[in-house]
Homo-oligomer: A and B are copies of this chain.
Amino acid sequence: MSFRIQDEPIDPRVLEARLRDDRAGACVTFEGWVRDHNEGEAVTALEYEAHEPIAVAEGEKILAEARERFDVLAIHAEHRVGALAIGDCAVWVGVSAAHRGAAFDACRYVIDEIKARVPIWKKEHYADGDSGWVNCATRAPAHRSGPAAKVS
């Protein structure tokens, strides 16, 4: 399996070792870090939730598409779930290839598709005590979201 959902911290060194290949001249990696703001709001912490069986199936499908479209040697991707702090690595994508063009293009394709297609949701906790699911118009009533909003 090349796409993983996991609740342990992501270790880029371990993951990058999987990309090693004597034919590889280029290695491009993407890390998504939890940042301290989003659309003008100060973010204090995040939770990621996934539906793992479908997330993994969809993730593997994306990696297979990338292998078919781009001349790459190895691809691996992982996404964290659970509670994350500012600066934590939420998602990692790594690609090795003989030449850098394919490595850059495949890495970008994979992270763009993960963000658009894989069933993973992000709940942000804000400095003002509020919280919200990113990209969702649906909002829980205040009395239900209250307790979760205090998690950090």
Binding site for B on A (CB under 8 A): 12-13, 16, 20, 22-37, 86-87, 96, 98, 100, 103-104, 107-108, 111
How many angstroms from the CA of A36 to the CA of B20 in the assembled complex? 12
User: Across the interface, which residues of B come within 8 angstroms of A32, CB to CB?
Assistant: 25-26, 100
A25: chain B residues at CB < 8 Å are 32-35
Q: SS class of chain A's interface: helix, strand, loop or mixed?
A: mixed
Contact A37 B23, beta carbon cutoff 8 Å: yes
Residue of B nearest to A87 (CB): B22
Most interface-central of A13, A37, A100 (chain B CB within 10 A): A100
16 A–B contact pairs at CB < 8 A? A12-B13, A20-B87, A22-B35, A22-B86, A23-B35, A23-B36, A25-B32, A26-B31, A26-B33, A27-B30, A27-B33, A28-B29, A28-B31, A28-B107, A32-B100, A104-B108
A100 and B104 contacting across the interface, CB-CB below 8 Å: no
Contact of A36 among B22, B26, B86, B111 (CB under 8 A): B22
Q: Give the chain B neighbours of A13 by CB distance below 8 A.
A: 12-13
Complex Cα–Cα for A100 and B107 (A)? 11
| Cβ B30 vs Cβ A26 within 8 A | yes
Complex-state Cα separation, A69 to B100, whole angstroms = 21
